[in-house]
Chain A
């Protein structure tokens, strides 16, 4: 799965996610990616999310909307992501990762899987990582 979130110079947010799905899936299986609130969500009032991971687990907790719900309660993008990923692990033992932005330009790339390739560009600087803490 691949995905992106952005905030433009007018403060508008957007998300996009695309995937080939899960290895050796049943024909006709659809995961979280095309489902609003699961495989992505964007609302100028809250932020935008694009997830990746075990689609069935992501759908069970509507991961993208859950993260924005926590942000609506005042959490940062990083804290909201960590809380939602922890909830997903506790409830359904799901592994996933997310990229998140808020309307003010705050951002996060968080995951509870072993790795997630990510990159962020802001203020002329490029940040990137693959493993925990990078």
Chain B
């Protein structure tokens, strides 16, 4: 069996000035996750490690660098799934968490549920010792500029983010 790890940093329209940052970020995440696989760690460990690095990288729209909602806030979603047992954990509309993917894994491992949302997810995070972070630490200048641009009348946020048919 040859271990393998594949990552993505989001589909859509990557501006030229961010292309190299994006490529460097996915390479770094793939290397880190693959190193865990080579050391005998599980596929679950590897995917959570890779996604954690991507969440911490402001070049991507997850964790630090998340896009903003209509009110300029950050609400994040994450999911993990283990193919051995079909166990799964998720969080939705969670705020002030640096690494939602790690919180999703804790939902899988420490609850009988598949998904916790919004304030309930925050309460669970506090209960299991996951620290809250100031929302400002998750917001980049780039995300704020895109949010402001898409507040204009006639803007198309979906097309702005996804581009047109490839």
Contact = CB atoms under 8 A, between A and B. Distances in A.
Nearest to B161: A23
Interface in B132-166: 143, 146-147, 150-151, 155, 157-158, 160-166
A30 B117 contact: yes
Interface in A116-134: 116-123, 126, 128, 130, 132
Interface residues on B, range: 35 or more
A126 B34 CA distance: 10
A32 to B, nearest CB: 8
B43 A21 contact: no
B76 A21 contact: yes
Interface string B3-45: 1111111111110000100110111011101100100111110
Interface string A18-46: 11111111111111011110011111100
Interface residues of A, number: 78
B61 A1 contact: yes
B7 to A, nearest CB: 4
B80 interface: yes
Given A4-B51, A42-B81, A117-B25, A18 B76 contact: yes
A96 interface: yes
Nearest to A32: B77
B118 to A, nearest CB: 8
B158 A9 contact: no
B77 A52 contact: no
A76 B159 CA distance: 30
A16 interface: yes
Contact of B74 (A20, A100, A132): A20
Nearest to A93: B165
Contacts of A53: 11-12, 162
B71 to A, nearest CB: 6
Given A6-B37, A117-B9, A117-B25, A27 B19 contact: no
A116 B12 CA distance: 6
Residue from B44, B65, B164 with most neighbouring chain A CB atoms (10 Å)? B44
A119 B6 contact: yes
B101 A30 contact: no
B62 interface: yes
Given A2-B8, A101-B6, 13 more contacts: A4-B8, A4-B29, A15-B81, A16-B104, A30-B92, A30-B117, A31-B77, A34-B91, A44-B83, A89-B165, A95-B165, A100-B6, A101-B4
